[in-house]
């Protein structure tokens, strides 16, 4: 398994304990990293790269989203790469930050009729891929990123979060 140095911060929201979140997140993100290394030939530093996970609420997320993306509303997940990275290129020793909003996650999970943990898994994988330079602004980028998410989540025992494709 590809190791990561994961730092957890629970700022706001009705999240589980930091220990529970760390155990859960490490399992998901190390599986995603392992997938990128094995299937996408993503190079990794010899020392486990660091990433920060911030678990917060919609109020805090709205402030962050307004400041960094000029969108004055909460969102489910935001990623902030520490360094510009292109998929398939060597990342630096610090990958960056992933921020997740509790209320949006909980509401979306209910709307999608999915368990909270399953939706959190998807958002962590989604945010993690952003740290490696994957994006979904253009249709071809979105197709590639969503395909990777679907394949990673399938390895973790989850069905396609987009509901319209099968894992390759």
Where helices occur in 91-131 by DSSP H, the ranges are 102-112, 116-131
Provide the number of structural domains found in the chain.
Answer: 1
Is 165 inside any structural domain? Answer: no
CA distance 12 to 102: 8
- Residue 53 lies in domain: 5-155
- Using a cut of 0.85, tell me whether the model's pTM lies above it: yes
C-alpha to C-alpha distances, 128 to 14, 59, 65, 92, 97, nearest whole angstrom: 22, 23, 18, 14, 9
pLDDT in tens, 67-121: 998 889 989 999 999 998 899 899 989 999 999 999 999 999 999 899 999 999 9
Is 62 inside any structural domain? Answer: yes
Is 167 inside any structural domain? Answer: no
Average pLDDT over residues 142-162: 86
pLDDT of residue 91: 92
CATH of the domain at 101: 3.40.390.30
What is the C-alpha R_g of the chain?
A: 15
pLDDT of residue 139: 74
Is 39 inside any structural domain? Answer: yes
Is 146 inside any structural domain? Answer: yes
- Evaluate whether 148 touches 134 at the Cβ level (below 8 Å): yes
pLDDT in tens, 5-42: 999 999 998 999 999 999 999 999 999 999 999 999 99
Is 149 inside any structural domain? Answer: yes
Residue 168 confidence (pLDDT) above 50: no
Residue 126 confidence (pLDDT) above 90: yes
- Evaluate whether 79 touches 32 at the Cβ level (below 8 Å): no
Is 30 inside any structural domain? Answer: yes
pLDDT of residue 36: 95
pLDDT of residue 18: 94
Residue with tokens 């962590």: 124
Is 163 inside any structural domain? Answer: no
């Amino acid at each position: 398994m590809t190791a990561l140095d994961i730092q957890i911060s629970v700022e706001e929201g009705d999240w589980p304990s930091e220990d529970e979140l760390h155990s859960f997140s490490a399992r998901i993100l190390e599986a995603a990293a392992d997938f990128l290394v094995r299937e996408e030939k993503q190079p990794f530093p010899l020392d486990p790269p660091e990433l920060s996970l911030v678990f917060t609420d919609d109020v805090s997320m709205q402030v962050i989203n307004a400041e960094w993306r000029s969108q004055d509303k909460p969102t489910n997940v935001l990623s902030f790469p520490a360094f510009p990275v292109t998929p398939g290129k060597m990342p630096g020793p610090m990958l960056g930050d992933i921020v997740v909003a509790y209320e949006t996650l909980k509401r979306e999970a209910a709307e999608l009729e999915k368990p909270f943990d399953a939706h959190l898994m998807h958002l962590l994988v989604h945010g993690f891929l952003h740290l490696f330079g994957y994006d979904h602004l253009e249709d071809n980028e979105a197709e590639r990123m969503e395909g990777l998410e679907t394949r990673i989540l399938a390895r973790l025992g989850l069905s396609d979060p987009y509901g319209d494709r099968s894992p390759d």
